[in-house]
């Protein structure tokens, strides 16, 4: 299945190839709490930008390991780039930016990013 997503204005658009969304993370770190992200972590190979990468701005903080990507036009934060615990490239997709996903049906896992 191909999930379609974008920022609010469409300057950043992407696709994610996956059978389903098994669960999402609701993190309470300083940025996720403020932005209200629900994150779905997928291998980078399953994530494909359909707009130029230059359309997204990048914000890094704390350990500087995660590239939080956001739209400089509408301010939406649709995804982030990083690595999983084994060093493999991954994307953290904000499922609130995906089309046709029933957010109420998702299994939400709370993560204490504020203290990690």
Domain ranges of the chain: 2-111
> Is 71:7 a contact under the CB 8 Å cutoff?
yes
Q: pTM of the predicted model, to two decimals?
A: 0.93
The residue ranges of the chain whose pLDDT is under 70 are none
Q: What is the pLDDT of residues 76-106, one digit of tens each?
A: 999 999 999 899 999 999 999 999 999 999 9
Vertex 83, ends 81 and 39: CA angle to 5°?
Answer: 55
CATH architecture of 2-111: Beta Complex (2.170)
DSSP codes joined into one string, 71-108: -TTT----EEEEE-TTS-EEEEEEGGGBTT--GGGS-E
pLDDT of residue 63: 87
């Amino acid at each position: 299945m191909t999930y379609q997503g974008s920022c609010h204005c469409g300057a950043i658009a992407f696709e994610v190839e996956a059978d389903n969304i098994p669960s999402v993370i609701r993190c309470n770190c300083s940025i996720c709490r403020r932005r209200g992200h629900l994150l779905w972590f997928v291998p980078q190979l399953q994530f494909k930008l359909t707009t130029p990468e230059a359309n997204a701005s990048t914000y890094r903080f704390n350990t500087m390991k995660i590239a939080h990507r956001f739209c400089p036009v509408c301010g939406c934060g649709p995804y982030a780039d990083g690595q999983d615990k084994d060093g493999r490239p991954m994307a953290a997709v904000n499922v609130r930016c995906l089309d046709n996903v029933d957010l109420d049906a998702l299994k939400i896992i709370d993560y204490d990013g504020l203290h990690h």
